[in-house]
Structure 1
Amino acid sequence: AASSFLKERIENADSVIFVAEDESKNLVGFTQLYPLFSSTRMKKLWLLNDLFVHSDFRGKGISVALIEKTKELCQKTDACAVMLETAKSNKIGNNLYPRTGFLLNTESNFYEWTNA
C-alpha cells in the first residue's frame, strides 16, 4: 500500500521526494515534501511529511543530508519555511531536527479533525 501511495504521489507530481542510495544503488532512505501556502506570509511553504532511513544505515549522516536537500528546495522555490510534525516520543527526530536548524514552535497548538 505504501509503495503504491508513493508511486501515485510521484505520478501526479503531488510531492517532492528525495532519496538516498547505497553504493549498489539500493534505496536506503527518503524524504517526502508537500507544498503548502501561507496566506499570512504570502509564500509557499513545504511540509516535510516523511523522513525515513533504513536502520542499517542510521548514524551515517543520511537523514542530515536529506534535510539539507529539503532546505535547498525551500531556498530554490523561495518558500518561507519547512514545517514538520513529530511525535513527542520520537527521541531520534526530536534530537535530529534542532541539530539541523529547526526550531520547536511552542507558540502554536496543533489540532486535527479525523475523517473516520
Structure 2
Amino acid sequence: MEIIRATMNELEDVTALFNDYRQFYGHESDVGSAKAFLQLRLTLNESIIFLAVQDGKAIGFTQLYPTFSSVALQRAFILNDLYVTEDARGLGAGKALTEKVFQYSQQQHARYVTLQTAPDNANARGLYEKLGMKQDEYCNYVKYFD
C-alpha cells in the first residue's frame, strides 16, 4: 500500500471516495458538488489530502485542514475526514493514513492534530486510541447554520 499526497492529478479518485464518504454519513450522492468542493480546497491550498492506493486502486483518503494554536504560537491540524472503502477495511489503510497525517504534522512543526468522531464509532475510536490519541478535557460547542 502506498500513501500519497493528492494533487489535481488524483482529483477523480479522491472525488469518488469523498462522495462515498458523504453518503456513509447520510448525505445524498452529489459527485459534481463533491468534485467542485475538493477542487477548490486544492486550488486554494486550503486542505491537505492523502490517498491510500493499493494495486493501483484508490482505497481510502484523509483530509486535513490547517489551523493554529494561538496559545502555543504554532500551526495545528484538524483531521476532518478519514474514509476507507468497505472492501478495503481491515487492510490497515486507516492506520497508514492516520500515521501519514501524524508524520506530516510533525514535519510542519504542528502543536497537535485534532479530530471528532461519533461516540458510537467504536472502530474509529479504537484506531485513534491505539495510535496514541486521547480525548481532551475541553467541552466542544457547535452552532449550526441552515
TM-score band w.r.t. shorter chain: over 0.9
Instruction: Provide the TM-score with structure 1 as the length reference.
Output: 0.94
Alignment match, 1:22? 54
Specify which structure has the higher proportion of helix.
Answer: 2
Partners of 1:38 and 1:115 lie apart in 2 by 25
Structure-2-length-normalised TM-score: 0.75
Runs of 4+ in 1 over 4 A off after TM superposition: none
1:8 paired residue number: 40
Q: What RMSD in Å do the two structures reach over aligned CA positions?
A: 0.9
Of 89, 102, 111, the residue aligned with 1:58 is 89
The size of the alignment, in residue pairs, is: 114
What does residue 33 of structure 1 align with?
A: 64
Q: Deviations over 1:12-39 (max 9, x none)?
A: 111000001120x221100000000011
Letter in 1 for 2:132: G
Unaligned stretches of 5+ residues in structure 1: none
Give unmatched runs, 5+ long, in structure 2: 1-32
Percent identity between the aligned chains?
38
User: 1:3 Cα shift?
Assistant: 2.6
**2:102 aligned with 1:71, yes or no?**
yes
